[in-house]
Structure 1
Amino acid sequence: MKTEPGLVFEDQRYDDTMDGNNGVTHLYKPPTITQIKEEDTDNTMSGDAIGTEMAAGQLTHSPPSQIRQNLILLLLTLTQLVQIAPLGVGVNSGLAIGQALGADRVQSTWVVASFPLTQGTFVLIGGRLGAIYGHKNILVAGSLIWVIWAALGGYATNLIAVCFFRGLCGIGGGLMTPNIIALIGITFPPGQKRNLGFALFGAMAPVGAAGGGLIGAIVIQLAEWKWAFFLLALVGAVVFGAASIAIQNDAPLDPHGSLDIIGAYLGVGGLILFNFVWNQAPIVGWATGYEIALLIISVAHFVAFAVWESKFAKDPIMPFDIWKMPSFGRLIVTVALAFMSLGIFLWYMSQFMQQIRGDSLITTGLQYLPLTIVGAITPFVAAWLIPRVPAQVIIGLGCLALVIINALLATTRPDLTYWAMCFPAMFVSAFTIDLIVTSAQIVISSTVPMKQQGIAGSLVGTLLGYGLSTGLGFAGTVEVHTFDNGRNLLRGYHSAAYLAIGMAGGALILSALIRIPKNTQEGWHADDADAAERHAAS
């Protein structure tokens, strides 16, 4: 019996032996992964037993048809689009929401920073949870968290509450992101169809963020800001609900594994503390006692995390052997710097439009449309380039685009029209995150073995969300030290943009040191034992 083209079940292959009693063709795990039990099993399954049997490596229904495969890919794409929309709402309307709640301009930065902070941080454990309990199960759990806290955010009555609710919503997004990536990575073997899936996933970052920003701006400008939260929750419930119905259950890759609680605490705790320190510093200043203390504690968490994961953890959240992959470390640092630079550009371009040019929320959202439109196309260009051009070249082009857009932001003036410098910056910005994310996802996914697909997705997802948020903290510190106590906002914005240029320039230099050949792989790696057996069996 043959699998349909491009479809691969996790750690399973077909046994063409038909059961004499019920004619069921079984799927089973190869002996190289799990020793086959000697005792016979009851082949009769009820609907309630499917999840249990899948964990044991058996499944009684046929692989989905080509139409259903396409439907699953579509719904995973839409799930990512909706999941990322709160980021756009924060970028475009964070200042308006903060001011409506009585916060000043600097404090309002937390409205945008709170969502990507927790989204990026909890991606770290989202992939591991997916490996233990099934990627679809964790995707559904994250969807519920996202919808609940997005809705409750509309009932917030102060800045702290709205940021707290957005942060909890981000936790749901953090659980969803790596499992969306993993479901694409384990469903389709390396090749054109997987590249298409990652391209669609990458396209949703600019489309969802910019689109969410525009829709949120319309709602907030014409009604109250809380209705933007209610609308997000409603759309999320519909899209996520459809995805949970259409996507088939997957067998956990590590059903007998466990979550490294100590590692999770050290990693997540360190990331949150470090981000909090830098985003809070522009508000309270570094002279505040707890700032330095928390910075030291966060660094101590990182050191303890590295020691624990590499020396003591039985089931590490981040296996350190993943860093032995070719140029993996340089790639990760490059992507981190790039995302921090991008976060600075998105926030300060929005502030320039609203605070310096005097544009409305809706006008600002419309002016981000070049990013949305071109950004929907660029990931497919990146996916097309991957087998033809070395990955470091593609990522380098994305970093170069970051240098260009931040240079435009750093030198723009309020007397210039939108078309002079803002439009070129928004157009070129579509070639930043899309080229970098799509290339990094495809290369990393094809570099690591199947069992580490979730971890690979977690790393890139963490860098995306966390980089966007943390970069704002660095830039905010530069801004408040250069804007003459709020009397020269433009100088503060320009200074933040120059910091972003430095980050993008550093990423560009590092990208030249990455040595990853053109990715022409079609199918699973031959040295991935379970994937090789699956390929042979199909």
Structure 2
Amino acid sequence: MSTTPNSEIHSPNDTDLDLDPAELAAMKEESPSLYPTQSRVEPPKSLFKEICFVGVLSMAQLMTQASLGQAIAPLHIIGASFGTTNPGQLSWFPAAYSLTVGTFILIAGRLGDLYGHKRFFIAGFLWYGLWSLIAGFSVYSRNSPIFFDICRALQGIGPAFLLPNALAIMGRTYKQGRRKDMVFSIFGATAPSGFLVGAVFSSLFAQLAWWPWAFWTMGMINVALAVAAYFAIPHTPSPIHENDGTSMFARIDGFGAISGVVALVLINLAWNQGPNAGWSTPYVYIMLIIGFVFIGVFGFIESRAKYPLVPMDALTKDTAFVLGCIAAGWSSFGIWVFYLWQFVEELRGQSPLLTSAQFAPCAVSGLAAALTTGAVLHKLGPSVVMMASMLAFTIGGVLIATAPVGQTYWAQTFVSIVIMPWGMDMSFPASNILLSNHMHHDHQGVAASLVNTVINYSVSIGLGFAGTVESQVNHGGMDLLRGYRGAWYMEIGLASLGLCISFLYALTQLSDRSRNKKQDEAGGA
């Protein structure tokens, strides 16, 4: 086996790569330490083992969204147990969780790339289970929801380790083609189903027993899934590191990780705390300013890091378009689902359990969207699929933003609930497959991390944007409907932005194909 002088990681072969050989060679020449050779994960040898394999990995997505639903559905019941009805404090129950899911994914994906995806996938379930249990016990701190918010934030670190490592294992297992498209689509299909499962069971526990039982049950299920993952997932060979004196801190780009996490946390805290504390409060805008300063520090560190957290070659034009689309689309989804739940419970007077039942079409629609995406993605291409998903986000938002309070559920609300999962389950597999196919197998964790960081962080910060709009138009909380509609108009704006970005992306794809065709014709002549 031959290695380049600067090679850090190596393994026996470099077969079955999705990248064009000439493209891979150029990438290795540009950054040899970041593009070592590495073998694939051995695919399951039977259909039963493959079902178990894909099922366990897909539970990462299902459980991630379930935890979002388990806080939104009984939001006011949980708030009442802590003696708060403040909308700003209540919004932290889902936002604190999404904040850490989005913030720590990049680090988790890098650790998986360097030290093995399977071990960090299992560790994610165990951590997730532990803090789900503790979140249930936070009910005894009745004077304030702050400890519950902390538990929710720490709970989110578990999914942050689950998602990128699950997708990285899939990316290293399946070759580019229809089977890979379908597996990624099945993984994405569990998102609306997971949210619904979390909402239904948390509503049952909140109304018929005690809401902490939803978190204690979540903890026990996660521990069981960690055990199942140990047996269902085959060995994922981790790279072999040469003893070149490089510390673990340097290998994971510790300074880049610290500056990136600080930046994301401070910016998110400022946007989500602004509506509650007021934007004129000094610590709010100071956090925002310091957060943007750390963004600059992160960029400076990454441009000079030996082993950057985000390889510079990953930040291509395609990556920028894709991440821009999903940032706009999924931030709009977070606003849509949070305020739709408040609209139905607070203004239409329905119970959490009945509201969960009304969201049931999400699961069926999401499955249909995922299967359709898996079947047509290789024919239409990611750019067309991404455009369709942004259109679904936009239409779903318009329908609910204009729905009258007294209108029947079967009119605009039902249609919006049916359409919205198409935005989720078309954009998720399209973006993951596009990045997975354009990155080396050793950086499948980074590819998955980029997508999931943007998705989950956008959900959290989108709630901050919407909360700011709501607080400015609801007349001090006296006009709930006006506040909710203001938030939804913000959602429509974000979804429309995603639609515009996807349209520009499709135009650039057509332009590139036309230019390449002309070059080929000129070369042939």
What TM-score does the superposition give when structure 1 sets the normalisation length? Answer: 0.83
- Distance, in Å, in 1 between the alignment partners of 2:241 and 2:46 is 28
SS class of match (2:378): coil
Q: For 1:26-425, what aligned pairs fall within 5 Å after superposition?
A: 64-67=44-47, 68-106=49-87, 107-156=89-138, 157=141, 158-253=144-239, 255=241, 258-310=251-303, 312-324=304-316, 326-425=317-416
Could you list the per-position Cα deviations for residues 51-85 of structure 1 after superposition, in whole angstroms to 9, with x for gaps in the alignment?
A: xxxx99899x9975224233211211123312331
Are the equivalent residues in 2 in contact too, given 1:121–1:462 (CA < 8 A)?
A: yes
- Distance, in Å, in 1 between the alignment partners of 2:394 and 2:240 is 42
Q: Give the deviation of 1:254 after TM superposition.
A: 6.4
Are the equivalent residues in 2 in contact too, given 1:134–1:249 (CA < 8 A)?
A: no
- Distance, in Å, in 1 between the alignment partners of 2:44 and 2:66 is 30
Could you list the per-position Cα deviations for residues 275-301 of structure 1 after superposition, in whole angstroms to 9, with x for gaps in the alignment?
A: 111111111001111011100000011
Are the equivalent residues in 1 in contact too, given 2:186–2:371 (CA < 8 A)?
A: yes
The residue that corresponds to 1:440 in the other structure is: 431
Q: Which amino acid aligns with 1:230?
A: W
Q: Residues 248 and 415 of structure 1: is their aligned pair in 2 closer, same or farther, counting only changes over 3 Å?
A: same
RMSD of aligned C-alpha atoms?
2.5
The residue that corresponds to 1:531 in the other structure is: none
- Distance, in Å, in 2 between the alignment partners of 1:514 and 1:254 is 38
Which ranges of structure 2 fall in alignment gaps of 5 or more residues? Answer: 1-9, 16-25, 29-35, 243-247, 511-525
Report whether the alignment pairs 1:500 with 2:491: yes
Which ranges of structure 1 fall in alignment gaps of 5 or more residues? Answer: 1-9, 16-31, 35-54, 519-538
SS class of match (2:380): coil
Q: Residues 368 and 254 of structure 1: is their aligned pair in 2 closer, same or farther, counting only changes over 3 Å?
A: farther
- Distance, in Å, in 1 between the alignment partners of 2:64 and 2:394 is 28
Could you list the per-position Cα deviations for residues 465-523 of structure 1 after superposition, in whole angstroms to 9, with x for gaps in the alignment?
A: 111111000000000100011110000000000011111111100101114869xxxxx
Q: Give the deviation of 1:247 after TM superposition.
A: 1.2
Q: Give the deviation of 1:94 after TM superposition.
A: 2.4
Could you list the per-position Cα deviations for residues 364-406 of structure 1 after superposition, in whole angstroms to 9, with x for gaps in the alignment?
A: 1111111112112211211111111132221111111111111
Q: Give the deviation of 1:100 after TM superposition.
A: 1.9
The residue that corresponds to 1:529 in the other structure is: none
Could you list the per-position Cα deviations for residues 320-339 of structure 1 after superposition, in whole angstroms to 9, with x for gaps in the alignment?
A: 21112x42212211110111
SS class of match (1:388): helix
Are the equivalent residues in 1 in contact too, given 2:399–2:413 (CA < 8 A)?
A: yes
Structure ranking higher in helix proportion: 2
The residue that corresponds to 2:468 in the other structure is: 477
Q: Residues 57 and 372 of structure 1: is their aligned pair in 2 closer, same or farther, counting only changes over 3 Å?
A: closer
Are the equivalent residues in 2 in contact too, given 1:131–1:255 (CA < 8 A)?
A: no
Q: Which amino acid aligns with 1:244?
A: Y
Q: Which amino acid aligns with 1:319?
A: P
Are the equivalent residues in 1 in contact too, given 2:60–2:163 (CA < 8 A)?
A: no
**Identical-residue share of aligned pairs (%):** 33
Are the equivalent residues in 2 in contact too, given 1:412–1:421 (CA < 8 A)?
A: yes
Q: Give the deviation of 1:93 after TM superposition.
A: 2.0
Could you list the per-position Cα deviations for residues 447-468 of structure 1 after superposition, in whole angstroms to 9, with x for gaps in the alignment?
A: 2222221111001111111111
- Distance, in Å, in 2 between the alignment partners of 1:58 and 1:180 is 17
- Distance, in Å, in 1 between the alignment partners of 2:234 and 2:39 is 14
